[in-house]
Structure 1
Amino acid sequence: MITANRSDVGRIRHINEDRSWVGQLDNGITLAIVADGMGGHQAGDVASQLAVNTFRDMLEKSASKADLSMQEGKMLIRQALVMANDVVYDMASRNEQYYNMGTTIVAALYREQQLIIGHIGDSRAYLITADGIAQLTEDHTLVNELVKSGQISLEEAAHHPRRNVITRAVGTDAQVEVDIYTAALSDNDVLLLCSDGLTNMVSDEEMLQTVREEGLGLDDKADRLIQLALQAGGDDNVTVVLLQEESAAYRGGDNG
């Protein structure tokens, strides 16, 4: 498995409140997480860093067994995100300057062509295959609720004045519900995890074209996605994590 992990503060913000991490365990499992923090007075970057650290610490210990099953993997992802919620909520509760801080999370556990995705908020996971690009996660946002109920269209959602209102986040409440998704990742497929600094600026079609670009390494593709977001305005912090099977990536231009 090869990976790319890139983040940029953007053109407007002074602090990068996004955090990300990718790691590979001795048993062949690859772990990845993107967290997009929120809260005033630098609380957002505290929330996202706490969440990433909690996820990493727990999964590096508990997912390292040789024969981890899919069911165990789903349970561990859920437990890690619930624990991240506990840690962030506790810190916010005990420190006035961190009151009401929180973070989104999209996290992945990959082993032997099987993906498990854990998700809270509006950071996203996409699967990019020969057939196109598919969003694996569903945004926990007010605008998405309005779209699902038929009150507004997808086109209206893209420009809605409250499109950044999140309905579920890590650390803002004592309890949190975690969405779990599973998918297969074949040799030529790429998993993309990102914060909304990418998806609010770059279209699905642009993401697809960039990741499917022949002759570009995975790091270059991640860099190009960041640059596309910056060129479109860079209104927010932007973070991109890409995962691809090593064998496919080293066939050069054959990964489309």
Structure 2
Amino acid sequence: MKIAYRSDVGRIRSINEDTAWSDSYEFGLTVAIVADGMGGHKAGEVASQLAVDTFREALQGVSAALSLEERKLLMSQAILQANEVVFDMASNNEQFHNMGTTVVAALIQDDNGVIGHIGDSRVYKWREGVLTQLTEDHTLVQELVKSGQITLEEAAVHPRRNVITRALGTDEEVEVDIICTSWRAGDLLMLCSDGLTTMASTSAIMETLGQDDLNLDQKADRLVQLALEAGGDDNITVVLLHHAEDTELEG
């Protein structure tokens, strides 16, 4: 497995409220997480860091290959644990009141991956020149699109397109979307905050991922650059996981 990670504060914000982490374990499990914090006055930065740290700690006890069902349960428990920690911090500290974060995470092992998701950070899969969005945004405009009240084109410019309907840490209980996806040689997963997807076009992202003359780190750099060139209105974070043809998954 090859991994590349990039994060940039963007051109407008003074603080980077995104946090990400990725690692591979000896027994063939690869993990990645992206969290996009919210709350202002550094609260978003605290929320996303807390979420990632708690998620990471929840995986520390994993010491052997897991079945698909075990990974689904681990993903759900790790994110719910992070929700509990962030909510507790927000509830007991006035300066962090109402803070929260998105979260999107992946656990990959053998021939499949498990995705956990809350909010509007996303996971895409790139396979044989086709880019597929695996997650569905938990946003007001997505609900309006699903109900047929607005089109996808209208959603992209809707004045309330940044309103999130589900976040980690804002409520005592939260629902985690769990998604399973197949995983084979040549596949690439892209985890990202909305600072990339609201700025860079899908066609530009596809063009970058399809450039064979760029290595994985260069592709991550280029994706961040695309968002910056388009205005960089938000923090930008991207994690790329590549099941490269010349690497073998252990297991």
Equivalent residue runs for 1:35-54 within 5 Å: 35-54=35-54
Deviation digits for residues 16-56 of structure 1 (CA, Å, limit 9, x no counterpart): 00000001112110000000000021000000000000001
SS of residue paired to 1:202:
coil
Equivalent residue runs for 1:101-112 within 5 Å: 101-112=99-110
Quick one: distance in 2 between partners of 1:204 and 1:64?
Answer: 38
Quick one: distance in 2 between partners of 1:113 and 1:204?
Answer: 26
Structure 1 unaligned residues grouped into runs of 5+: 251-256
Deviation digits for residues 105-145 of structure 1 (CA, Å, limit 9, x no counterpart): 00000011211000000000000111510000000000000
Please report how far the alpha carbon of residue 224 of structure 1 lies from its aligned counterpart in structure 2 after TM superposition: 0.2
CA contact (8 A) 1:188 1:249 kept: no
Equivalent residue runs for 1:141-156 within 5 Å: 141-156=139-154
SS of residue paired to 2:49:
helix
CA contact (8 A) 1:25 1:60 kept: no
Please report how far the alpha carbon of residue 246 of structure 1 lies from its aligned counterpart in structure 2 after TM superposition: 3.6
SS of residue paired to 1:106:
strand
Deviates further, 68-77 or 240-249: 240-249
SS of residue paired to 1:234:
coil
Structure 2 unaligned residues grouped into runs of 5+: none
The equivalent of 1:158 in structure 2 is 156
Equivalent residue runs for 1:79-90 within 5 Å: 79-90=77-88
How many residue pairs get aligned? The number is: 248
The equivalent of 2:117 in structure 1 is 119
Please report how far the alpha carbon of residue 249 of structure 1 lies from its aligned counterpart in structure 2 after TM superposition: 7.2
Please report how far the alpha carbon of residue 7 of structure 1 lies from its aligned counterpart in structure 2 after TM superposition: 0.1
Quick one: distance in 2 between partners of 1:147 and 1:85?
Answer: 27
Regions of 4+ moved over 6 Å: none
Quick one: distance in 2 between partners of 1:248 and 1:235?
Answer: 37
SS of residue paired to 1:208:
helix
The equivalent of 1:58 in structure 2 is 58
The equivalent of 2:135 in structure 1 is 137
RMSD (CA atoms) = 1.2
TM-score by length of 2: 0.97
The equivalent of 1:241 in structure 2 is 239
Letter in 1 for 2:28: G
Identity %: 61
SS of residue paired to 1:60:
coil
CA contact (8 A) 1:7 1:238 kept: yes
Among 223, 226, 230, the alignment partner of 2:224 is 226
The equivalent of 1:254 in structure 2 is none
Please report how far the alpha carbon of residue 247 of structure 1 lies from its aligned counterpart in structure 2 after TM superposition: 3.1
SS of residue paired to 1:157:
helix
The equivalent of 1:9 in structure 2 is 9
CA contact (8 A) 1:147 1:153 kept: yes
SS of residue paired to 2:55:
helix
Quick one: distance in 2 between partners of 1:121 and 1:236?
Answer: 16
Letter in 2 for 1:224: R
